[in-house]
């Protein structure tokens, strides 16, 4: 069985999706195993397979949930000028409270690049489009692409090193050049 599963849209499916999302924020998706996940969320592998159709269906649902969190961020950004938008984006990206979500995003992004036909299909491209729409509100396309590259590079560096001062200074310098 593949696809959305038998319980698409059910309250139990949504409850388990939220619990599974909290689990993958802590543990990632790479070594996701249904037994430990099911035990952690108070379910069984059979119920998860029934509700999500397959392990790939569950991964797609989890990536969709992560994208929902990303889209909520983008929707809540203040209107204004390009430097202000970049500073607001970086403030959110650099906040320690968002590290688990961002590590999950990087994992999904990377897997979409190396397994374009798997459950990750389209995840990286969709997130690029989402961010370019937001940055495109205040920047022409080439400048929006450059700003996205700076943010994404600084984010990867921050996640790898934990050096918020250096990465934040790089983003601030780029934002200042836009103003």
Least confidently predicted of 39-48, 73-82, 137-146, 165-174? 73-82
Averaged pLDDT, 42-56? 95
- Give the pLDDT band (50/70/90) at residue 22: very high
Cα-Cα-Cα-Cα torsion 66, 70, 75, 77, nearest 10 degrees, comes to 150
| Cβ neighbours around 171 below 10 Å, total | 23
Is pLDDT at 31 greater than 90 in this prediction? no
Percentage with pLDDT > 90 across the chain: 79
**Cβ distance 49 to 34 under 8 Å?**
yes
pLDDT score, position 1:
35
The encoded tokens of residue 144 equal 């929006």
The 3-state DSSP class for residue 95 equals coil
Task: Look up tokens 């269906």; give the residue.
Answer: 57
Tokens 């590079």 belong to 153
pLDDT at 80 (0 to 100): 81
Residue recorded with tokens 């600084």: 154
Tell me the mean pLDDT in the region 105-134. Answer: 92
- Determine the pLDDT at residue 7: 67
Name the nearest CA neighbour of 179 among 91, 92, 78, 80: 80
Q: For the segment 77-116, what is each residue's pLDDT rounded down to a tens digit?
A: 777 889 999 999 999 999 999 999 999 999 999 999 999 9
Query: Backbone dihedral region of 28: left (phi > 0), alpha (psi from -120 to 50 degrees) or beta?
Result: left
pLDDT value of residue 8: 67
Dihedral sign, Cα of residue 151, residue 154, residue 157, residue 159: negative
Structure pTM? 0.85
């Amino acid at each position: 069985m593949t696809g959305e599963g038998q319980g698409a849209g059910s309250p139990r499916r949504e409850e388990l999706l939220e619990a599974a999302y909290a689990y993958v924020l802590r543990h990632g998706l790479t070594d996701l195993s249904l037994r430990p996940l099911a035990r952690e969320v108070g379910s069984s592998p059979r119920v998860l397979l029934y509700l999500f159709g397959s392990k790939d269906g569950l991964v797609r649902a989890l990536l969709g949930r992560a994208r929902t969190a990303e889209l909520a961020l983008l929707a809540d950004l203040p209107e204004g000028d390009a430097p202000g938008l970049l500073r607001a984006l970086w403030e959110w990206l650099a906040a320690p409270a968002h590290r688990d979500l961002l590590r999950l995003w990087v994992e999904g992004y990377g897997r979409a690049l190396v397994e374009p036909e798997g459950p990750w299909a389209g995840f990286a491209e969709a997130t690029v489009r989402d961010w370019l729409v937001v940055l495109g509100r205040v920047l022409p396309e080439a400048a929006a692409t450059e700003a996205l590259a700076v943010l994404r590079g600084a984010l990867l560096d921050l996640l790898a090193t934990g050096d918020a001062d250096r990465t934040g200074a790089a983003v601030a310098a780029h934002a200042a050049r836009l103003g």
